Structure 1
Amino acid sequence: MPTETIFIESANDKVLIETKQSYNGIPCTEAPTAILAHPYGPLGGHMNNNVVSSLHRGCGESKGRTSWTGMAERGDYQAVIDHVLHSPDYASKYPKPSRLMICGYSYGSMIASSIEAPCSLPCFYLLISYPLSVTWALALFKASFFRSQITKLLDHYRNQEDAEGGVLIIYGDRDQFTSSKSYERWLENQIGGHVKAEVVKGADHLWFDYEQLLVTMVNKWLNGK
């Protein structure tokens, strides 16, 4: 699949965000579009991460540094969405998005879940290994904001039967940062409507040897939409 590196200016501090943009080349006027946020940079999150590579996107040479509150990263994610939806340069090279898949793995899922869906097209949220038990450490005094955002997101897609889009949460039952019991308690009253959760037995937070299963699960979910 042809891929090109594109640098997008952040809306927050004007630093450049490195993105990888790929398209299968099949001629069409509209196509589903996915944007994936990478794991936590200070702990090694980058574009070559095994999960990110499997789902096909990432960041590598972006400038700037981790904000410690998640707010700058949230602005970066929004800048990428704005580029995809409104940039003439993007429109000249790629099909118009027919639906948007807002994805994130680990820290990236915390950022992705805080993004409000554009009203112009259906949005699907893929949240892998959401850092439920360590949000406080990743976002410091903004942790309550991110927790309220994901609650708002799940409420929206669970309670509105006519909502366009949905949410899929995937986690491993051996996650090192959030126990299976913690996920179960959190999700007990969150599933329903357009919100779905899947647990993978034997998988931990890093997903080594489970990458293909993860991709298969995501494809199955999307094919059902």
Structure 2
Amino acid sequence: MSASIGSDIVPETTIVPLSAGHALEVDIYHVPTSTLDLGAQKIAILCHPWSWLGGCKDDPVLESIAVALNTKFNMHVFVPNARSVGNSTGRASFSGKSEAADLEELTRWCISKINNTGCVVIVGYSHGSLLASCHPILSDPIQTYHILLSYPLSPLPLLTFFNASIYRERLSQLVRNPQARVLILFGDKDQFTDVSNYQSWADNLERVRSSSTSETISNNAVEAKVIPGADHFWRGRLNQQMTETITNWLER
């Protein structure tokens, strides 16, 4: 995925109606017309932390990622507020199942608005990484990338209303898919999950990945990376290191 340097773009906010009758408030980072490539277009959709704890589209971590993807790769970036957050309507769920379904429908809407979509990057931060992990890989010719940032491993049962097994299975299904391209990124100072638990989990996902024999699997298509010194909130210089890790992975 080749990169180019652009300027920061202020997002446009719009309301996207969904089929269940509610609507999502979405920030859109447009690609400037002057730099618009007429070839295959790239889309990114970013999912914020848990709404029940104040998570929203204005999270500074997501803003950093949105700007990086938009300016370096000329991506059309969409950052929604989940149900009941900000000007989004609908009833928030405790399990996250409804929000995961909303993400899939929003992706279809985004693809319908961007002609010639060739790449979709699904990014989830904290609780948002649970929703991202449930998003299916799209059909060819669209390439799908998943980026899971600060996955809430230890508090998973509480954050899903004791539906943790569903999310574990969906993530296992994702990494077993030969078409999967997944980056899992976490810090060794995370306040909610000890790094030893993260490393054991990442090792197990690698075993799950390796056990799939349906097709030849790329060695680096699913990668877990730990950032020394980073906590759950990616402040200061570690924010830049996080965005650079993401963009470097996408460039490979």
Give the TM-score of the pair, scaled to structure 1: 0.88
Aligned to 1:206: 233
What does residue 61 of structure 1 align with?
A: 87
Report the Cα distance in structure 2 between the residues aligned to 1:82 and 1:180, rounded to whole angstroms.
36
Matched, 1:38 2:45: no
**Whole-angstrom distance in 2 between the partners of 1:52 and 1:38:** 7
Aligned counterpart, 2:17: 9
Cα deviations by residue, 1:192-212 (Å, 9 ceiling, x for unpaired): 441111111111111111211
| Equivalenced residues, count | 211
CA contact (8 A) 1:100 1:122 kept: yes
**2:158 alignment counterpart:** 137
Deviations 1:13-63, CA, capped at 9 Å, x for gaps: 321101111122223232211111111011121122111111123424212
Q: Which residue of 1 aligns with 2:203?
A: 188
Partner amino acid, structure 1, of 2:159: L
Deviation of residue 2 (structure 1)? 4.8
For residues 167-186 of structure 1, the aligned pairs below 5 Å read 167-186=182-201
Unaligned residue ranges in structure 1 (runs of 5+): none
Equivalent positions of 1:35-184 (< 5 A) are 35-56=45-66, 57-59=79-81, 60-86=86-112, 90-91=113-114, 95-120=115-140, 121-156=142-177, 160=178, 163=179, 166-184=181-199
Consecutive unaligned residues in structure 2, runs of 5 or more? 1-8, 67-78, 207-218
SS at match of 1:99: strand
Question: 4+ residue stretches of structure 1 with deviation over 4 A?
Answer: none
Q: Out of 178-187 and 204-213, give the one that drifted further.
A: 204-213
Q: Is the 8 A contact 2:24 2:80 kept in 1?
A: no
Deviation digits for residues 62-109 of structure 1 (CA, Å, limit 9, x no counterpart): 1234200111111111121010123xxx24xxx432111011000000
Q: Which amino acid aligns with 1:166?
A: R
1:133 Cα offset (Å): 1.2
* Partners of 1:218 and 1:58 in 2: CA distance: 20
